Amino acid sequence: MKKLINAVDDVVTEALQGMQAAHPDLIEIHLDPNYVVRRGAPVEGQVAVVSGGGSGHEPMHNGYVGLGMLSGACPGAVFTSPTPDQIYECTRRVNGGRGVVHVVKNYTGDVMNFELAAEMARADGIEVEAVVINDDVAVQDSLYTAGRRGVGATVLAEKLAGARAEAGGSLGEVAAVVRKVNDNARSMGMALTPCTVPAAGKPTFELGDDEMEIGIGIHGEPGRERMELETADRIVDRLMGPILEDLPFRSGDRVLAFVNGMGGTPLIELYIVTRRVARVLEERGLRLERSLVGSYITSLEMAGCSITLLRLGDELVRLWDAPVHTPALRWGV
């Protein structure tokens, strides 16, 4: 294992300390339990938005704390859900008196830990509304699985819900934005290489030099199928097909396209992917209204990408364009 770390046990803590050093104007970190809050939290009279999940997906979620996005984020160990005490304390810390929305990715552990934390916060009289994100079309949603995973739509939901909260939305209104995003977004990812969890010391799975995994999860969970490597255009078509069919997206729809890098793929390749995404959208008569291209929800150093399409109307476009100022996303400020 070759990593820029000091000690395996210190990875999460030291990364948080580094974030604090880089962004003292935007965030405050708390250690043991670990959480990150917007500087000056709570914002009185404003609904708070809290998310969290395993570390290793940077900049998600800590990098999205700040004006117009998350009020707080709870990082777990690498690829491991945060614990209820972390989420509970973060929730208390950011509550500005109008309630807290929990944005939860649909993983068994995340859902259970957030559920326990919400029970604890409600016992203190804090209003909590949790919304689960499950946009990954690689997983069949049925009674026989834990359901679809939460992936790319999470980043979009956090931005849009944060904008709604910043504009004075009520708890119900902010939660409704998260739900709207989840209902109108679909994603799918793929991997060219595996990644190594520091504490494990070796890759989470093996992938041959000429192989790729289609439908990969963001923790290196094996995907739908493993196949021989293809061109970028062919790969994009494999991802776009299931995404477009699932919602379904129809001719005339306005969409936000989010082309995401898994951590080890350079931006030049993501633009090659984006080129094909734009062509497919055009062929289908979809209007590319907004886009986001870059590594925003990653799997450590995994190479690969995911594509998320969000169908949006005027309200979501307005919220997307609203000012945001966080360590990882900034515009309009």
Partner 1 sequence: MGRVMEGEAVDAATLRRWLDVLAARLSERADYLTQLDAAIGDGDHGINMDRGFRAVRERVLDPGNEAPLDGLLKGVGMTLLSTVGGAAGPLYGTFFLRMAAQAGAKDRLPAPELAAALAAGVEGVRQRGRAEPGDKTMLDALLPGVETLERMLAEGRDLASALEAAAAAAEEGCRATVPMVARKGRASYLGQRSAGHQDPGATSSAYLLRALAAAVSGS
Tell me the window of 64-72, 79-87, 93-101, 285-293 that interacts with partner 1 (CB under 8 A). Answer: 79-87
Other beta carbons within 10 angstroms of residue 206's beta carbon come to: 8
Name 246's bridge partners.
none
Q: Which one of the spans 82-90, 158-166, 179-187, 278-286 is the region binding partner 1 (CB under 8 A)?
A: 82-90
Interface characters, 10-49, with partner 1 (x: CB under 8 A)? -----------------------x----------------
219 is an active site residue: yes
Question: Does the footprint of partner 1 cover residue 57 (CB under 8 A)?
Answer: no
Interface positions, 210-269, toward partner 1 (CB under 8 A): 217, 219-222
Q: Quick check: 189 binds partner 1 (CB under 8 A)? A: no
Nearer Cβ to partner 1, position 54 or 162? 54
Q: Which two tokens mark 75?
A: 């990082």
Residue from the set 197, 236, 309, 328 that interacts with partner 1 by CB under 8 A: 197
Q: Mapped to the 3 state alphabet, what secondary structure does the chain carry? A: CCCCCCCHHHHHHHHHHHHHHHCCCCEEEECCCCEEEECCCCCCCCCEEEEEEEECCCCCCHHHECECCECEEEEEEECCCCCHHHHHHHHHHHCCCCCEEEEEECCHHHHHHHHHHHHHHHHCCCCEEEEEECCECCCCCCCCCCCCCCCCHHHHHHHHHHHHHHCCCCHHHHHHHHHHHHHHEEEEEEECCCCECCCCCCECCCCCCCEEEECCCCCCCCCCEEEECCCHHHHHHHHHHHHHHHCCCCCCCEEEEEEEECCCCCHHHHHHHHHHHHHHHHHCCCEEEEEEEECCCCCCCCCEEEEEEEECCHHHHHHHHCCEECCCCEECC
> Residue 149 interacts with partner 1 (CB under 8 A)?
yes
Q: Is residue 70 a contact residue for partner 1 (CB under 8 A)? A: no
Site for partner 1 in 263-322 (CB under 8 A): none
Q: Give the residue, chosen from 63, 76, 99, 263, that forms a contact with partner 1 under the rule CB under 8 A.
A: 76
Q: Exactly one of 23, 61, 102, 219 is catalytic; name it.
A: 219
**Cβ 109 to partner 1 shortest distance, Å:** 4
In terms of CB distance, is 130 or 288 closer to partner 1? 130
Q: CA-CA distance, 70 to 324, in Å (whole number)?
A: 10
Q: Is 57 a catalytic residue?
A: yes
Q: How far is the CB of 35 from partner 1 (least distance, A)?
A: 13
Q: Whole-number minimum distance, CB 265 to partner 1, in Å?
A: 20
Stretch that binds partner 1, among 18-26, 83-91, 257-265, 323-331 (CB under 8 A): 83-91
List residues binding partner 1 (CB under 8 A): 33, 54, 76-86, 107-109, 112-113, 115-116, 138-140, 143-146, 149, 197, 199-200, 204-205, 217, 219-222
Residues marked active site are found at 57, 219
